[in-house]
Amino acid sequence: MKNKGILYAFGAYATWGLFPIYWKWLKTIPALQLISHRIIWSFAMLFAVILATRQFAAFRAETIKPRVLRIYLIAAILIGVNWLTYVWAVNSGFVVESSLGYFINPLISVLLGVIFLRERLRPMQWVPVILAAVGVTYLTISYGRLPWIALTLAFSFGTYGLVKKTAPLGSLYGLTLETGILFIPALGYLLFMGFTGTGAFLNTSATIDWLLIGAGVITTIPLLMFASAAKRIPLTMIGLMQYIAPTLQFLLGVLLYKEPFSHTQLIGFGIVWVALIIFVLENYLNHRAVQAQPIAELGEG
C-alpha cells in the first residue's frame, strides 16, 4: 500500500513538473483562453467523477451552505490567479522563474501560518525563512526587478493552501466546487471569443481542440493521484517529494527551453536551495525526535 502511495505521489509531482511541455504546445493561444478551457474541462471531468460514483446528492448537500460557498469563492479566485500566472509565464519564456515560485512556496506557507494562524516556528525554522528572503532579495537585485512571477505563484498558492486549511470539503468536492464557481465566467468569456471570431476552439485544428480538452485531464488526474497518495504515505514523505515538480520545471527551462540562467541567478537560486535543504532536514529530524519520544518514555516506564 505504501509503495502504491509513493508511485501515486511521484506520478502527481512528475506530471506537474512536466506541465510546461503541455502548455508550450498551446503557446499560440492566449493564456486567458487556455485557463478558461482548463477550468471548463476540469469541472466537466470532476463533475463526471462525482456522477459516476453516485455522490451528487452528498456533493450538493455539502456545497449549498453559504459559509462553504464563501470559503471556496476565495479559493477559486486564488487558484485562478495561480493558473493564469503560471500558464502566461511558461508561454512567455519564464519557466525558470516559475520554478522558483514553487521552490519558495513551502517557506511562504510557513510564514503565512505564523502571520494568520499564529503558529510558532522552532528556532531553526527561522533560518530557512530568512535565507529564502535573502535569496529573493539577491535575485531582485540581479534581475533588476522584483521576481514578481515567482512571488505571485508562491503567495497565491500559499494563500490558497491557507484557505484550504480551514475549508470543510475533501479534495474532490473542493476542486469541483472551485472550478464550478469559475465555470460560468470562463464559459462566458469563451463564448464571447467564439462570437467575435477570436476563439481558438474549433477554429484552428483538431489537434489544438483535443489539447484544449486535455487541459482538464492533465489537471484532474494528478490531483486525484495526489489525493490517493496522501491517504497512503506520511506527510513527511509527501513534503520531500513535492520538490520533484519545481526541479523538473527548472531543468526544462534551462536544458530544454534554453532560458538564460546566469551565475548571479545561480547564486540566488543556490541560497533558496540551501534554505530548502535546511528546512527539509530540520523537519525530518524534528519528526524523528517526536516519533522517538513516546518509545523513550515507554522504556523509562
Report helix, strand or coil for 191.
helix
Which triple of cell numbers denotes residue 301?
516506564
Residue with cell 535575485: 139
What's the pLDDT at 170? 84
Q: How far is CA 24 from the centre of its chain?
A: 18
In terms of C-beta density within 10 A (0-12 exposed, 13-18 middle, 19 or more buried), how is residue 249 classed? buried
Q: How far is CA 37 from the centre of its chain?
A: 18
Domain count, the chain: 1
Phi then psi dihedrals of residue 168, to 5 deg: -85, -15
Yes or no: say if 105 and 158 are a contact pair by the CB < 8 Å rule.
yes
Yes or no: say if 78 and 174 are a contact pair by the CB < 8 Å rule.
no
- Per the structure, the complete domain to which residue 203 belongs is given by 2-300
Yes or no: say if 21 and 188 are a contact pair by the CB < 8 Å rule.
no
What's the pLDDT at 161? 84
* Side-chain-side CA neighbours of residue 101 (13 Å): 26
What's the pLDDT at 282? 84
What's the pLDDT at 243? 87
Q: Give, for all 301 residues of the chain, the pLDDT tens digit.
A: 567 878 888 998 999 999 999 999 999 999 999 999 999 999 999 999 999 999 999 999 999 999 999 999 999 999 999 999 999 999 999 999 999 999 998 888 888 888 888 878 888 888 888 999 999 999 998 888 889 999 999 999 889 888 888 888 888 899 999 999 999 999 999 999 988 888 888 888 899 999 999 999 998 888 888 877 877 776 666 767 788 899 999 999 999 999 999 998 999 999 999 998 988 888 778 877 777 765 555 455 4
Positive or negative, the Cα torsion across 23, 27, 32, 36?
Answer: negative
Q: Which of 283, 180, 181 is nearest to 240 (CA)?
A: 283
What's the pLDDT at 117? 80
What's the pLDDT at 35? 95
